[in-house]
Amino acid sequence: MIIKGVRMIRREFNEVYKYTNAPQKCVIAITKDYAGKYNLITLEWFMRTSILPPMYAISIGHTRYSYECLQKNRFFNLVFLSKEQLETAILAGTLSGKDLDKLEKSKESFFLGRLEKLPILKRAVANLECKVVTQVRSGDHTIFVGEVKHSYLDNSKDVLLVSDLKRK
């Protein structure tokens, strides 16, 4: 239905989401499996959920290796990647940590954080060390809410955007 003077048109959700989702920052989560091996996953769904205490939520599909890792180890680092980490974002989002060590393959330089000794990526813009405080099943994903315990920043770099991945 067209209403005179109104440009709002009903569209399919995927079209609306694609248009409204940018510019979205490209982030990864770093987890650890039951044997202590690190795992990286590129995330589409993450959000700040609390100011005090600071908390972020990440959404992980039930078929993902990272889901298995987070069920066993209740900690993750949320990493806001820099533009120079484009290849790491692609690697973390296209290969399974079940099959290889993505951190080693990425050749990212890091130091161990204070919480659970998860890697803090040196080339990133920001790293947030999070402890899972709750989780909620949401269809074929689970939302893990992590309280930020320690945070790191290098504001001399530009944040990698999801749109940068599409240009590759």
Q: Please report the DSSP string for 43-81 in residue order.
A: ES-EEEEETTTTEEEEEEETTSHHHHHHHHS-EEEEEE-
- Containing domain of residue 82, as a range? 27-167
Q: State residue 4's pLDDT score.
A: 67
Give the total number of structural domains in the chain. 1
Is 101 inside any structural domain? Answer: yes
Is 65 inside any structural domain? Answer: yes
Is 137 inside any structural domain? Answer: yes
Percentage of residues in the chain having pLDDT higher than 70? 93
Tell me which H or E stretch contains 87. helix 86-94
Q: What is the pLDDT of residues 8-31, one digit of tens each?
A: 777 887 887 776 666 789 999 999
Q: What is the pLDDT of residues 45-82, one digit of tens each?
A: 999 999 999 999 999 999 999 999 999 999 999 999 99
Q: Is there a contact between 123 and 89 (Cβ–Cβ < 8 Å)?
A: no
Looking up residue 108, the CATH number of its domain turns out to be: 2.30.110.10
pTM: 0.87
> Facing residues of 38 across strands?
32
Is 10 inside any structural domain? Answer: no
Strand runs labelled E in 81-140 = 110-112, 119-121, 126-138
Q: State residue 7's pLDDT score.
A: 73
**How far apart (Å, rounded) are the C-alpha atoms in residues 48 and 38?**
24
Q: What is the mean pLDDT of the chain?
A: 91
